[in-house]
Amino acid sequence: MVKVVVVGASGFVGGQVCDALEARGVTVIRCSAPRLGKVREAEAAAAVERFVADPAMVEEWSGAAAVVNAAGDPDASSRDADALTAANGALAGVLGRLTAEAGIARFVHVSSAVVQGRRPLLDASDSLDAFSPYARSKVLGERLARRFGPKGTVCYRPPSVHHESRRVTRATARIAASPLSSVAAPGTQPTPQALAANVGDAVAELATCPAQPPRVVIHPWEGLTCASLLELLGDRRPRRLPRWFARTLVRIGAVLGVVLPPLAANARRIEMVWFGQGQAVSWLTQQGWAPPVGEEGWRELRRRLGAAEPSTRQKPR
């Protein structure tokens, strides 16, 4: 039996990874992430080196084929740089180090496409753009995972991941269903968005596939355009805005975000919805893997979000 350790198994991505692994007949060892406390970026590597693991946890990993790090802080608007550094940076190094010390050949670190920021094309290169505290913490996580992890360390970069439990998904769906639903003309530009179930299956593939994945793997494009994403989540056609007008608003948001980091994160989300971003061909696609859930998954997500919304009808007095 193949055994895979999943750290952060209780999270929305970790849970999907566990489900996908178990569907493949894999024995899953579910682990909570060790608590590190806040860590300054300059001290992250030292924090990794001095971390003392629970012997019982390391013993439980014995014989595993891979370790998956699905833990971390997903709040892209957070201003707490030290907390982000610990959760998204130092933790990746710690788990990579423990994987190597346990003699486990493969370490799959779930990073994020945010490390490449506003680059016109998302790819598997080291061309990065850490435009926010959150992005910097994810960049640091990749560097420490490769530095301390085994030779078979893989940094997987999913794009914006959607699930009914995510605040960003609920917010996007509300906008998509409202008169504010809009995209920069013409709306046919690709947008890097992924369903959580597809991300979970991609990680399961990276953890168990016979071929050794490269050091960085991006998530494949799921076929969505800026307009089709909003249509699937909102069940209505979005308005097409003149590109110059949309670009001006995004630039204003980016400038204001220099002093207000939460605004920078929201401006980036709006930019992604309006303009999208290209994606290079993924190694997963080249190996024959395809997302198991297609457009029907987005429609089902819309139905679940609609069912979860509280009624707006006025209650009888």
Say what the pLDDT of residue 316 is. 37
Using CB atoms within 10 A of its CB, is residue 266 exposed (0-12), middle (13-18) or buried (19+)?
A: middle
Q: Residue 136 falls within a domain, yes or no?
A: yes
Say what the pLDDT of residue 307 is. 77
Q: Residue 245 falls within a domain, yes or no?
A: no
Residues 117 and 122: their CA atoms lie apart, in Å, by 9
Q: Residue 71 falls within a domain, yes or no?
A: yes
Count: domains in the chain: 1
Residues 77 and 135: their CA atoms lie apart, in Å, by 10
List the domain range (segments joined by +) for residue 43: 3-166+190-225+278-300
Using CB atoms within 10 A of its CB, is residue 308 exposed (0-12), middle (13-18) or buried (19+)?
A: exposed
Using CB atoms within 10 A of its CB, is residue 137 exposed (0-12), middle (13-18) or buried (19+)?
A: buried
- Cβ neighbors of 279 (< 8 A, separation 6 or more) are 121, 122, 123, 159, 190, 192, 218, 219, 220, 221
Q: Residue 260 falls within a domain, yes or no?
A: no
Q: Residue 251 falls within a domain, yes or no?
A: no
Using CB atoms within 10 A of its CB, is residue 76 exposed (0-12), middle (13-18) or buried (19+)?
A: buried
CATH, residue 53: 3.40.50.720
From first to last of the 317 residues of the chain, give the pLDDT tens digit: 799 999 999 998 999 999 999 999 999 999 999 988 899 999 999 999 999 988 888 888 989 999 999 999 988 878 899 999 999 999 999 999 999 999 999 999 999 999 998 888 999 999 998 888 899 999 999 999 999 999 999 999 999 999 999 988 999 999 999 999 999 999 999 999 999 999 999 999 999 999 999 999 999 999 999 999 999 999 999 999 999 999 998 888 777 766 666 666 677 778 888 999 999 999 999 999 999 999 999 999 999 998 766 544 343 33
Q: Residue 15 falls within a domain, yes or no?
A: yes
Q: Residue 201 falls within a domain, yes or no?
A: yes
Say what the pLDDT of residue 92 is. 98
Please name which of 9, 13, 2, 8 lies closest in space to residue 198, comparing C-alpha atoms: 13
Say what the pLDDT of residue 3 is. 96
Residue 134, token pair as written in the block: 């959150």
- pTM for the full predicted model: 0.91
Using CB atoms within 10 A of its CB, is residue 270 exposed (0-12), middle (13-18) or buried (19+)?
A: middle
- Cβ neighbors of 173 (< 8 A, separation 6 or more) are 233, 234, 301, 302, 305
Q: Residue 234 falls within a domain, yes or no?
A: no
Residues 227 and 238: their CA atoms lie apart, in Å, by 6
